[in-house]
Amino acid sequence: MMQEALTVTVPEAAARRGVSRGRIWQMVQNNQIPAVRKGPLWLISIADLDALPPAHSKGGRPSKMSSDGLGGSADSPTHPTPPVLPSNARTVSHYT
């Protein structure tokens, strides 16, 4: 009968969490998750790994904010639409 491992390596922890190995290393270095060195390997307890809050589903840098502050996307224009002036509005020139 095979017993399930109680620890995982850094690459296994990254795969299990759905994040990069670099992110796991960062968490170990910042003491966000304990790890023990065993020879050339760093081992992380599965219980400690599973106790962490869920990883963000979308990695990488956040998208740039649009002018309305609601976030942007590839489909949204990069510049806001100018306001529509009523037909009787006068424009003022700053150069007279």
Domain count, the chain: 1
Please determine, for residue 10, whether its predicted confidence score (pLDDT) is greater than 90.
yes
Would you say residue 66 lies in a domain? no
Query: First and final CA of the chain: distance in angstroms?
Result: 91
Would you say residue 59 lies in a domain? no
Would you say residue 44 lies in a domain? yes
Would you say residue 63 lies in a domain? no
Q: What is the pLDDT of residues 27-80, one digit of tens each?
A: 999 999 999 999 999 999 999 999 988 876 555 666 665 555 555 555 555 666
pTM of the predicted model over 0.75: no
- With contact defined as beta carbons under 8 Å apart, do 60 and 26 qualify? no
Would you say residue 11 lies in a domain? yes
**Which pLDDT does position 24 carry in this prediction?**
94
Please determine, for residue 15, whether its predicted confidence score (pLDDT) is greater than 60.
yes
Q: What is the extent of the structural domain holding 16? A: 7-51
Radius of gyration of the chain (CA): 26
Would you say residue 79 lies in a domain? no
d(CA 32, CA 13): 14
**Which pLDDT does position 70 carry in this prediction?**
54
Would you say residue 72 lies in a domain? no
Would you say residue 35 lies in a domain? yes
